[in-house]
Amino acid sequence: MLDIKFLRTNPDIVKENIKKKFQDEKLELVDKVIEFDEQCRKAKSEGDDLRNQKNLKSKEFGKYKAIINKSDDEAAKAEAMANVDKLTAEIEEIDKRRAELEEIESKLNEEIRNMMLVIPNIIDDSVPIGKDDSENVEVEKFGEPFVPDFEVPYHVDIMEKVNGIDLDSARKTSGNGFYYLCGDIAQLQSCILSYARDFMIDKGFTYYIPPFMIRSDVVTGVMSFAEMEGMMYKIEGEDLYLIGTSEHSMIGKFIDTIIPQNELPKTLTSYSPCFRKEVGAHGIEERGVYRIHQFEKQEMIVVCEPEESMDWFHKLYSYTVEFFRTLDIPVRTLECCSGDLADLKVKSIDVEAWSPRQKKYFEVGSCSNLGDAQARRLNIKYKTPDKQKYFAHTLNNTVVAPPRMLIAFLENNINEDGSIRIPKALQPYMRKEIIAVPEKK
């Protein structure tokens, strides 16, 4: 959410930013916010004037009450009583008008906040301008994409060959978009997550397991309404939502917090299951684990000073690149264009892994700098030694999100006979060098 003072003084910049994001339908909101803000400040100013008037009249009221209580002059008492009656009526009228103004101010503030929540954050100058993800820009490749001289099977076929997945049973218990992982593949997923945890701890991040449900005020603080509608599962009858990523809980942890400057940056890494509706054009696969309702993820989160946020942005996605390369998976980074950025984001880079089967890259993680948007919504500030308070910047990035990451892992580490190589970095966790194909009985 933008600072309303910034919008008030820079409406053209806000409108130009909306155009860069190809959301012209929101342009009128800028003028409406300015109009409502002016009405709100006018109501507040009138209310302040009436408060001052009431204070003056209350002093007069006290003076006349003293005359009534202490004076022996009956004429003076009568005059004082008349003035008390007059002042009482005037104060009642002031109180009535102030109540009306407070209601007007409250309604206007609510309208302004609702509109401000929809107006997108100002994107960084370095963000490429484009309408959708088809116009995202490749930044850099890491590792040589390799296609073996044998046909790489579909990822479900790879897992089924080693008795590692059961989709049919999951459809019976839960429907499409769910799965049972079993045997070596279930162990592989757990080991990848354990390795990711230790990888980030070694980078100096503090490990967390957060709540898997959050309240609505946290949901609206960490994401846009459009994202919320397409992602979140609501717990019926309660003010709770299942998290779509642990970033939601981890940023929400700092709601209404003032952090001493010397405690920044906060560098956290968190594990959680994630739950998503996956509403939209992509849909849920009948047979596969690329786009599903439930998965697990290791996340990294940073809360820092504004001056440090871009440095942290580059560090964060470089950690994901490094992690994947230790598992022998070629990756590339892709700069998200303006039209592909969620409304709260200042800048975002996707990490994509190489698919030997499809002979192309696909998304396995996303790194985002949200500036002070989440901090402004959730009231997350830091305090300098001279007691000045400022909104912090927040960032998040995927370390790893299996089972989607399993697709890249399996395709890049499969042997012609269907067995799966275990890279050296993962061998201490798996306690084996290869996942063998079971012998047929």
Residue 112 sits in the same domain as residue 147: no
* pLDDT of 23 higher than 50: yes
Q: Quick check: is 399 in a domain?
A: yes
DSSP assignment of 198-228: HHHHHTTPEEE---SEE-HHHHHHHS-HHHH
The answer to whether residue 440 is domain-embedded is: no
With respect to residue 126, please indicate whether it lies within any of the assigned structural domains.
Answer: no
pLDDT (tens digit, 9 = 90+) per residue, 123-157? Answer: 999 999 999 999 999 999 999 999 999 999 999 99
Q: What is the pLDDT of residues 178-198, one digit of tens each?
A: 999 999 999 999 999 999 999
Domain count, the chain: 2
Say how far apart CA 182 and CA 189 lie, in whole Å.
Answer: 10
**Quick one: pLDDT at residue 281?**
46
Residue at 121 is within a domain: no
Which has the higher per-residue pLDDT, 83 or 162?
Answer: 162
Please tell me whether residues 386 and 269 are part of one structural domain: yes
User: Higher confidence at residue 82 or residue 318?
Assistant: 318
Local confidence band at 285 (pLDDT 50, 70, 90 cut-offs): low
Calculate what percentage of the chain has a pLDDT beyond 90.
82
Q: What is the CATH number of the domain that holds 170?
A: 3.30.930.10
Domain of 16, in residue numbers: 4-116
Last residue of a domain, one of 67, 86, 116: 116
Q: Is 169 in the same domain as 68?
A: no
Q: Which of 405, 423, 404 is nearest to 413 (CA)?
A: 423
Contacts 24+ apart (CB under 8 A), 273-276: 273/212, 273/297, 274/243, 274/244, 274/245, 274/246, 274/401, 275/212, 275/233, 275/242, 275/243, 275/244, 276/231, 276/232, 276/233, 276/244
Is residue 327 located within the same domain as residue 224? yes
Q: For 76-101, what is each residue's pLDDT tens digit?
A: 878 888 888 888 889 999 999 999 99
Query: What is the percent of the chain where pLDDT is above 70?
Result: 98
Q: What is the mean pLDDT of the chain?
A: 93
Residue 239 lies in a domain: yes
- pLDDT, tens digit, for every residue of 300-311? 999 999 999 999
* pLDDT score at 345: 96
Same domain as 254, residue 140: yes
End residue of a domain, out of 116, 150, 180: 116
| Residue 327 and residue 254 share a domain | yes
Same domain, 38 and 148: no
pLDDT of residue 109: 94
170 and 41 both lie in a single domain: no
pLDDT band at 65 (very low <50, low <70, confident <90, very high): confident
Does 128 reside within a domain? no
- Residue at 125 is within a domain: no
Confidence of residue 283 (pLDDT cuts 50, 70, 90): low
pLDDT digits (tens, 9 = 90+) for 227-279: 777 788 999 999 999 999 999 999 999 999 999 999 999 999 999 999 998 75
